[in-house]
C-alpha cells in the first residue's frame, strides 16, 4: 500500500502518518518514506494482511491511499538527513577490505571484462591499486550473447582471482550467474556481481540474499527504476542489507552507442532509495573513447563510484575489447577524477 500525502503536508503530518502506519504493521522495517514529484509517499508493506484505509483517508494531509501491492520497502528511502537536508543514503560496508560504498570516497572498481590469465591479471591489479582502485573486477563466468564466444575460465578463473587478491591485496568483484555458484564465488570475492541479464533471476537474487557478502546489482538493460528496486528488495528481504546498485546503460532507440547511460537515474535513485549507486561507463558506451567523459559525468552527478574495464592490451582482450581502457588511459582518467572528487568535497 502507498499513502500519498498532499504537497502541503508538514513534517509533523509525515511523522503522524508514519506512526499510524507502524501501528498497522507492528514494525519500523515495513514502513519506508519515498518522494514522488515533490510529494511524500509512505510505502507500507502489508504482506497480504487485510487493511482498512479509512483512518488514513480521513486525514487532511492524505491525498490518496493506493491499496495496490508495494513493490519495495526495504530498498526505499529512509527519509531526509537532518544535517544536510538531502535524502539519506545508507553506505554499504565491505569489511573484508575496509571499504565503504556510498560514504565520503568514490569507490573505483577496475579490471578486465574476463579473467584471461594470471600474469595479465596480476599486472592489471597492481596498476589498478596504484591508481587508487579499491576493487579488481574480472569475470570467471561470463554471460555472452553467443555460445561460441569466450565463456570465461570458470573455476580456474576463480583460482586466479584468489591468488591475485592474496598477492596484491586488492578487493575482488566477480559475477555469479547461477544460484549454485554463489557459494564458491563468495569465497574468493569481496563483492558478488549480479549481471544485467540476471537482474530478475529471482532464484539467484534469493541465494545472494541468504549470504552476507555485499552484492552489486546491475540494472537490467530494459528495467525501470521500480523493477530494479524490486529486484534489490528480493536480496534485502532475505536478510542481506548490503546491496549496491550499478547503472550500466539501457536499451533505447539510439544506435550511436552500445547502450544509453541513464545518468538521470542517479538523482532519481537518491529521491527514492537509500542504496548506494555506482556507474559502469564501459558496458553503457561500448567504446573506450567515450568512457572517460561518461565516468566523469557519473561522479559529478552523484554516483558513489565506477566499474570500469581495463586491460594491459585492450585490442587483445578476449571480450569487450572496444570498450576497454589501456592502463595508461585508466591512469589518466583517475588523475582527472581525483580533481573532480576534490571539487565535490569527496575523495578517491
Ligand atoms: C560485466 O560487467 O561483466 C557484464 C557482463 O556487464 P553487464 O551485465 O552489465 O552486461
Ligand atoms: Mn564486459
| Nearest Cα residue to 258 out of 270, 249, 271, 268 | 249
CA angle (142 as vertex; 162, 314 as ends), nearest 5: 80
pLDDT digits (tens, 9 = 90+) for 301-342: 999 999 999 999 999 999 999 999 999 999 999 999 999 999
pLDDT of residue 33: 84
Name the pLDDT band for 212 (thresholds 50, 70, 90): very high
DSSP state at residue 197: G
pLDDT of residue 281: 98
Q: Which three cell numbers stand for residue 268?
A: 532519481
Q: How far is CA 202 from CA 191, 192, 206, 231, 291, in A?
A: 19, 15, 6, 8, 31
pLDDT value at 225 more than 90: yes
Burial of 23 per CB tally in 10 Å (0-12, 13-18, 19+): exposed
- Report every protein residue that has its C-beta within 5 angstroms of ion ligand 2: 113, 320
pLDDT of residue 214: 98
Strands across the sheet with 39-44, in order? 31-36, 39-44, 2-5, 62-66
Pick from 109, 112, 113 the residue to mutate for probing ligand 1's pocket: most ligand atoms within 8 Å of its CB.
Answer: 113
The residue whose CA has the least distance to atom 3 of ligand 1 is: 113
Pick from 135, 137, 146, 193 the residue to mutate for probing ligand 1's pocket: most ligand atoms within 8 Å of its CB.
Answer: 193
Cα 114 to averaged position of ligand 2 atoms, centre (Å):
7
Name the pLDDT band for 114 (thresholds 50, 70, 90): very high
Q: In whole angstroms, what is the distance from residue 338 CA to residue 333 CA?
A: 9
In this structure, are residues 112 and 138 in contact, taking their beta carbons and an 8 Å threshold?
yes
Q: Who has greater pLDDT, 253 or 272?
A: 253
Cα 9 to averaged position of ligand 2 atoms, centre (Å):
46
pLDDT of residue 143: 97
| Nearest Cα residue to 306 out of 125, 114, 133, 98 | 133
Residue bearing cell 573532480: 340
DSSP state at residue 139: B
pLDDT digits (tens, 9 = 90+) for 26-85: 877 788 887 777 789 898 888 777 778 899 999 999 999 988 777 888 898 766 676 777
Atom of ligand 1 nearest to the CA of 139: 3
Cα 137 to averaged position of ligand 2 atoms, centre (Å):
10
DSSP state at residue 177: -
Pick from 109, 138, 140, 218 the residue to mutate for probing ligand 1's pocket: most ligand atoms within 8 Å of its CB.
Answer: 218
The residue whose CA has the least distance to atom 4 of ligand 1 is: 195
Q: Who has greater pLDDT, 83 or 8?
A: 8
pLDDT of residue 30: 83
pLDDT of residue 25: 84
Reported pTM: 0.90
Cα 309 to averaged position of ligand 2 atoms, centre (Å):
7
pLDDT value at 142 more than 80: yes
Share of the chain above pLDDT 70, in %: 99
DSSP state at residue 149: S
pLDDT digits (tens, 9 = 90+) for 156-201: 999 999 999 999 999 999 999 999 999 999 999 999 999 999 999 9
pLDDT value at 264 more than 90: yes
pLDDT value at 122 more than 80: yes
Atom of ligand 1 nearest to the CA of 307: 2
Name the pLDDT band for 285 (thresholds 50, 70, 90): very high
Residue 132: helix, strand or coil by DSSP?
A: coil
Amino acid at each position: 500500500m502507498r499513502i500519498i500525502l498532499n504537497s502541503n503536508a508538514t513534517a509533523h503530518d509525515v511523522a503522524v502518518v508514519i506512526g499510524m502506519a507502524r501501528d498497522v504493521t507492528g514494525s519500523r522495517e515495513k514502513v519506508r518514506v519515498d518522494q514522488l514529484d515533490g510529494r511524500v509517499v509512505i510505502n507500507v508493506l502489508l504482506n497480504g494482511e487485510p487493511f482498512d484505509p479509512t483512518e488514513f483517508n480521513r486525514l487532511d494531509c492524505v491525498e490518496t491511499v493506493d491499496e495496490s501491492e508495494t513493490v519495495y520497502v526495504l530498498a526505499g528511502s529512509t527519509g531526509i538527513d537532518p544535517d544536510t537536508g538531502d535524502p539519506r543514503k545508507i553506505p554499504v560496508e565491505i569489511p573484508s577490505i575496509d571499504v565503504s560504498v556510498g560514504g565520503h570516497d568514490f569507490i573505483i572498481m577496475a579490471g578486465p571484462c574476463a579473467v584471461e590469465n594470471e600474469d595479465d591479471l596480476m599486472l592489471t591489479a597492481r596498476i589498478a591499486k596504484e591508481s587508487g582502485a579499491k576493487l579488481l573486477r574480472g569475470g570467471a563466468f561470463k554471460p555472452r550473447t553467443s555460445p561460441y564466444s569466450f565463456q570465461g575460465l570458470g573455476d580456474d578463473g576463480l583460482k586466479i582471482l584468489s591468488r591475485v587478491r592474496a598477492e596484491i591485496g586488492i578487493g575482488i568483484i566477480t559475477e555469479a550467474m547461477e544460484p549454485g555458484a554463489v557459494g564458491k564465488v563468495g569465497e574468493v570475492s569481496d563483492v558478488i556481481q549480479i549481471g544485467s541479464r540476471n537482474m530478475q533471476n529471482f532464484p539467484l537474487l534469493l541465494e545472494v540474499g541468504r549470504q552476507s557478502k555485499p552484492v552489486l546489482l546491475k540494472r537490467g538493460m530494459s528495467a525501470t527504476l521500480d523493477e530494479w528496486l524490486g529486484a534489490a528488495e528480493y536480496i534485502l528481504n532475505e536478510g542481506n542489507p548490503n546491496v549496491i546498485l550499478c547503472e550500466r546503460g539501457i536499451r533505447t532507440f539510439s544506435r550511436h552507442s552500445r547502450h544509453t547511460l541513464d545518468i538521470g537515474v542517479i538523482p532519481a535513485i537518491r529521491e527514492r532509495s537509500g542504496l548506494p549507486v555506482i556507474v559502469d561507463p564501459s558496458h553503457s558506451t561500448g567504446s573506450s573513447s567515450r568512457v572517460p567523459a561518461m565516468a566523469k559525468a557519473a561522479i559529478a552527478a552523484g554516483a558513489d563510484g565506477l566499474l570500469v574495464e581495463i586491460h594491459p592490451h585492450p585490442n587483445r582482450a578476449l571480450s569487450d575489447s572496444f570498450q576497454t581502457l589501456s592502463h595508461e588511459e585508466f591512469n589518466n582518467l583517475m588523475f582527472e577524477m581525483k580533481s573532480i572528487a576534490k571539487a565535490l568535497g569527496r575523495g578517491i
